[in-house]
Amino acid sequence: TQAQRDQTASINQAQQSVTALMSAVIQPGSGTEDFESRMGDWQNWANAKVTAFGGVGNSSALQVGPGAGGAALQVPRIVAGTTYVLTAQARVSDQVNGQATLGVDFYDASGARINTNPAPKNVIDLFFIPFTFEVTAPANSAYALVWIWKSGDTGVAILDNVAFAPVSAPLPPPASNLL
pLDDT in tens, 68-108: 999 999 999 999 999 999 999 999 998 887 889 999 999 99
Examine residue 118 and say whether the peptide bond preceding it is cis (omega within 30 degrees of 0).
Answer: yes
Average pLDDT over residues 10-35: 43
pLDDT in tens, 107-157: 999 999 997 667 788 898 999 999 998 999 999 999 999 999 998 878 899
CA distance 94 to 49: 18
Cβ atoms of 158 and 90 within 8 Å: the answer is: yes
DSSP assignment of 19-57, as one string?
HHHHTT---TTSSEE-STTTTTTEEEEESEEEETT-SGG
The structure's pTM equals 0.73
Examine residue 66 and say whether the peptide bond preceding it is cis (omega within 30 degrees of 0).
Answer: yes
Which of helix, strand or coil describes residue 123?
strand
Q: For residue 57, is pLDDT > 50?
A: yes
Which of helix, strand or coil describes residue 105?
strand
